[in-house]
């Protein structure tokens, strides 16, 4: 008989990397939110789930279960074969730990496959995430990469991570670059997905002396940074990055590649154009129309992003900040690492 296991039991037990979470909900449900690292082996397609749900509402539970069994029975050989290819410990789950995960676990158990079922499903997992984020005490110090738009803060995070430093990439988790153009080319996360990804990193780094994050407002795209990290970020140590304008423009162009989605950039510009003085606004429209993206980027930085950053930027005491005047992101990286080494000595 398969074993039921709670989220708390999974988290308190030994960390086993040779383990796979399997979400048996429909593909659309899986896309909306799941447990990080899970794979999707659905019992129903989106259309089948809708059909069974309609029968449940219009006729009743018994007829819905009958229809569900009829649909699933045709898939049993392929379903079991897919699980047989997973050579790890397996935990299946659905929305509330109900019929879908129970059916999957029962069938797999009958076929001699060892599997456990997550009690309460993704709903219980979400409740655990929210409760843990509200109650946890994240002890590492927070080092914040701050500075004007285009100073390569995301690039610096990636370089620091590549050298083994603990990094929490909030924009990557949010699926948003944190600007008016930040959603272009990305798939934005919802709050459930963002919280789950963030908690995973907070737990991974809870024994570290410090972590690096990028300077962000409370909201990134569609999500909010939970207080457990946001408050520590606000009171953390800030590296204020300063790069030459031409380097910032080049960084913007390389990151966003506006020539790939010119119409989306024009649409995004229309959202903010009322905040830019008319003469500059006309210059910007001309630059975008003529696909002169370097000029457009410099105008946006000079007349929109830089003034907003200066206005919003809080004053830090000398022991809360370090100004990094650099010629390139690589130069800035070396100065940050040198500061860390001096602090550690």
Asked if residue 333 lies in contact with residue 156, where contact means CB atoms within 8 angstroms, the answer is: yes
Contacts of 344 (CB under 8 A, 6+ apart): none
> DSSP letter at 167?
B
Where would I find the beta strands (DSSP E) of the chain?
A: 3-5, 19-23, 39-40, 89-93, 116-118, 141-147, 210-214, 219-220, 223-224, 237-242, 321-325
**33, 64, 92, 94: the active-site residue:** 94
93 carries an active-site annotation: no
Secondary structure tally for the chain: helices H, strands E: 17, 11
Residue carrying structure tokens 């496959």 = 113
CA distance readout (Å), 215 to 59, 163, 166, 309, 314: 53, 20, 16, 11, 12
Q: How far apart are CA 117 and CA 34, in angstroms?
A: 15
Active site residues: 94
């Amino acid at each position: 008989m398969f074993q039921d296991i709670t989220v708390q039991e999974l988290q308190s037990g030994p960390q086993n990397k040779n383990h796979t979470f399997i979400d048996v909900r429909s593909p659309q449900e899986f896309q909306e939110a799941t447990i990080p690292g899970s794979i999707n082996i659905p019992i129903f397609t989106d259309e089948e789930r809708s059909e069974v749900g309609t029968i449940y509402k219009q006729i009743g539970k018994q007829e819905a279960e009958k229809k569900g069994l009829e649909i699933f029975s045709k898939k049993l050989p392929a379903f079991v074969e897919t699980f047989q290819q997973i050579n790890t410990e397996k935990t299946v789950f659905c929305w509330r730990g109900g019929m879908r995960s129970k059916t999957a676990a029962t069938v797999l158990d009958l076929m001699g496959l060892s599997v456990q079922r997550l009690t309460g499903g993704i709903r219980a997992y979400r409740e655990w995430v929210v409760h843990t984020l509200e109650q946890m005490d994240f002890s590492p110090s927070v080092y914040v990469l701050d500075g004007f738009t285009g100073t390569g803060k995301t690039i610096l995070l990636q370089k620091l991570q590549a050298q083994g430093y603990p990094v929490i990439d909030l924009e990557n988790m949010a699926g948003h670059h944190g600007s008016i153009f930040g959603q272009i080319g990305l798939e934005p996360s919802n709050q459930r997905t963002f919280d789950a990804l963030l908690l995973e990193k907070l737990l991974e780094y809870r024994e570290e002396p410090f972590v690096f994050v990028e300077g962000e407002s409370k909201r990134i795209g569609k999500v909010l940074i939970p207080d457990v990290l946001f408050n520590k970020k606000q009171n953390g140590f800030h590296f204020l990055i300063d790069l030459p304008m031409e380097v910032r423009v080049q960084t913007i162009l390389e990151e966003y590649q506006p020539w790939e989605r010119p119409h989306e950039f024009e649409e995004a510009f229309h959202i903010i154009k009322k905040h830019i003085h008319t003469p500059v606004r006309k210059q910007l429209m001309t630059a975008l129309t003529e696909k002169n993206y370097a000029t457009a980027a410099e105008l946006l930085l000079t007349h929109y992003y830089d003034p907003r950053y200066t206005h919003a930027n809080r004053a830090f005491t000398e022991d809360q900040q370090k100004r990094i005047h650099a010629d390139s992101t690589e130069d800035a990286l070396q100065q940050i690492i040198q500061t860390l080494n001096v602090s550690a000595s």
